[in-house]
Chain A
């Protein structure tokens, strides 16, 4: 039987405010355990929360960028449960009156565009962290992360494949980065997703029973966990088993998902309005002011690249999919008109090396990539040399002009010098001359190769080609 997969995502993003959501402590990642803490975020008796207004502003920015309605009246509620990383034994979240509702995002999977509905976006506080392993048999609580602001973005069950889910999270990541409201560092947990997934026979309109796989914090994990869960559910159904509504975890090292707890012993969170916090009341003027000052978002930049710079949609999609790449591209094109060539370098070697080296930032200035392209275009260096210089730039972060000068990599384009090399190579390879004259065109390629070797890659290949032909045809 053919099955259709139904996926909805809950994406949690840490907001990049300087201070926590309910106190003045730093939100900085890392730090000695329990050093970014105060009576409020450690849940001391008598301490009270005060809402950080920046959190509301950032959440509204995200809501507007994701086409949501912003609620002028919303409230904060307590979600009650016991866990050692939750110092107050309740998480302050938003239950029935979230800040943002009814939004949508457009995703693009292999040129196929699709709208994904966003049910709601609400603000809440993060919990602390338990450090197991470090201490015999128990766990240590680190509350540095407790009270760090989060937004939870809840989608409609609109996705039908892991590729769509991945594209959706990538889009959210790009938008949040463009808004500068979250640093979206997935390996630090500042962007993570819960996947709700069910399957149903193709054509069926009712939803199947769904499972929720929690806390996926890389694109690879999202994709693999979804693929795993689809396979598991289909196999279960084919074997006549019933899918149980349950919460699941994903073990990325072992590549398997497993049930965490069933919904039958799930918590009753006893949500109720937090009496320590006033209603959040926003004026239309305040919301409009944020709307009018939103920065440029990925979609509009993409259109600009396609329409004004003539980039292919595929390239524009990838570059604008990361604010870091798009900013790098914009900056580089200020120093060089050859946008297509800059884009090619980004799409090719730059992305490859970033991935290989697991880097989040390019270690040299965008201006340097522009200079590299200018040097190629002006014939100062060859493309082959440029590739080496580029690798060097990743190592040292230096200006390519300096690298070229220091290493003496300037292309030899002087006719006399080229002629010298050509004559030397011909003298050393009489057999090739015979071959060429006998009609073996391959011999020319061999001679040019030898000349490049002789010049340690610096000879201008076009000039070599031309001069060899001249000499051979004499």
Chain B
């Protein structure tokens, strides 16, 4: 048996029973990374020594009968925009190619407190700006289901690694779909928690009012196990919610009887690929057959969410990325004769095309004379989005949509058309604007055998209903058990 195919809950049992050690499990992943990742290219940095040492320490503790955390000895991969002290945090950018973080993100502290083993840092679109991981300054990551296709993004490395058994689970970050869309492209489970549920401290900011960290896992139970550790108030993040800590695993019930599911028509209409649409409609039928009610509903403001999203996200990004100026850390141009030139050259050379495009967009919409026309108006639409989701949730427990209007596409086929790329974010961005939680789970395959994901959207801080709904679907279908065959290996 290949132990890298295990889920967290399976591996936990075997570790507890002494059938395997954390060292063996971690070593198996390191070996598999060495063998498979040259094809998939999901890791930017592999922390081999650090991981094996952590694993040994956990095994030692276990042997001595010491108290162990809930993720003791579980090897996890981290998107490369979360700081780990002493480890490179590159954001897949030339700007931070050699930046070693001087501190730990709160999520890293929380994972390590529970005994998780950190395998390494995962590839992404530069500064999380993109939806295909082709915008990594280093290399594109391949989709394990077909290595000529993109894994989605920006957390493409995180989703591909889980899909290809290169990590038992990973962390991604989601600003406009960056956990859910790659999960859908790679057939993994990806949760974007409610804004404020998981601390952002130590997550390199893209758009502060939209960013959330969340888990990408092999199944829904693992997602709940990860949320047990990730969710919680952090005094270092003012936007983190101060709520009672929950055990998410208790909500894993195979039961959706009486659950009211809404299907906003704007998300399954025009522009949605037919195969995706039929997979979602089949999923709806499945929920009905399991005792839930499914009804069409409407969120009319949807037609304005893309421009709203790109205005808010770029505005915040233009300010957040100002600190990458070549002064204290990060890339500095070799030649400059004035301070202005140092800034201009370092930033021109250090940032990639897409990042520069968004900084320029964001700078423009915040400029005096344009602020009200763009930023203020976008904030007004944001209020409407929040309001319309609230109204929908007065009637429904969860909303069901596709995660992406399309399945994974060929590498290089869309990079020349940024607007087409932005349009494919249509199903996911509203959720960040509204701040509500959403999960993407596998719900089918297209005729090219590329995965299709469905998105379940919940009320603020109602991850429990999402998890119950997703768990029930997973237990009653077999999409989740499908595994990619990587390059014939």
Contact = CB atoms under 8 A, between A and B. Distances in A.
A85 to B, nearest CB: 9
Residue with the highest number of chain B CB atoms closer than 10 Å, among A43, A90, A270: A270
A84 interface: yes
A270 B238 contact: no
Interface residues of B, number: 44
Given A78-B319, A84-B339, A50 B328 contact: no
A78 B375 CA distance: 14
A29 interface: no
Residue with the highest number of chain A CB atoms closer than 10 Å, among B99, B319, B363, B368: B319
Interface stretch (A274-282, A288-296, A298-306): A274-282
Interface in B396-439: none
A138 to B, nearest CB: 10
A49 interface: yes
Contacts of A149: none
Interface of A is mostly: loop
A82 to B, nearest CB: 6
B209 interface: yes
A47 B201 contact: yes
Contacts of A82: 322, 325, 343
Contact of B202 (A42, A46, A51, A90): A46
B322 A278 contact: no
A141 B328 contact: yes
Given A47-B201, A78-B319, 14 more contacts: A39-B102, A39-B103, A44-B83, A45-B205, A45-B324, A46-B105, A46-B202, A47-B103, A47-B202, A48-B236, A84-B327, A268-B367, A270-B319, A278-B238
A45 B83 contact: yes
Interface of B: 81-83, 89, 91, 96, 99, 101-103, 105, 200-205, 207-209, 235-239, 315-316, 318-319, 322-325, 327-329, 339, 343, 363, 366-368, 371, 375
Contact of A272 (B83, B89, B204, B375): B375
A80 B322 contact: yes
Interface of A: 39, 42-51, 78, 80, 82, 84, 87-90, 141, 268, 270-272, 275-278
Nearest first, the 6 A-B pairs at minimum CB distance are A89-B322, A275-B209, A270-B366, A275-B208, A45-B204, A46-B202
A45 B96 contact: yes
A39 B237 CA distance: 13
Contact of B327 (A46, A141, A272, A278): A141
7 contacts: A44-B329, A46-B83, A46-B200, A47-B103, A87-B327, A88-B323, A270-B368
A89 B323 contact: yes
B237 A48 contact: yes
Contacts of A90: 319, 322
B238 A49 contact: yes
B82 A272 contact: no
A39 B201 CA distance: 11
Contact of A48 (B200, B367, B371): B200
Contact of A270 (B81, B99, B236, B363): B363
Contacts of A48: 200-201, 236-238
A247 to B, nearest CB: 17
Given A48-B237, A275-B316, A43 B323 contact: yes
Contacts of A275: 207-209, 239, 316
A135 to B, nearest CB: 15
Contacts of A47: 103, 201-202
Nearest to B364: A270
B103 A44 contact: yes
A44 B239 CA distance: 18
B353 to A, nearest CB: 21
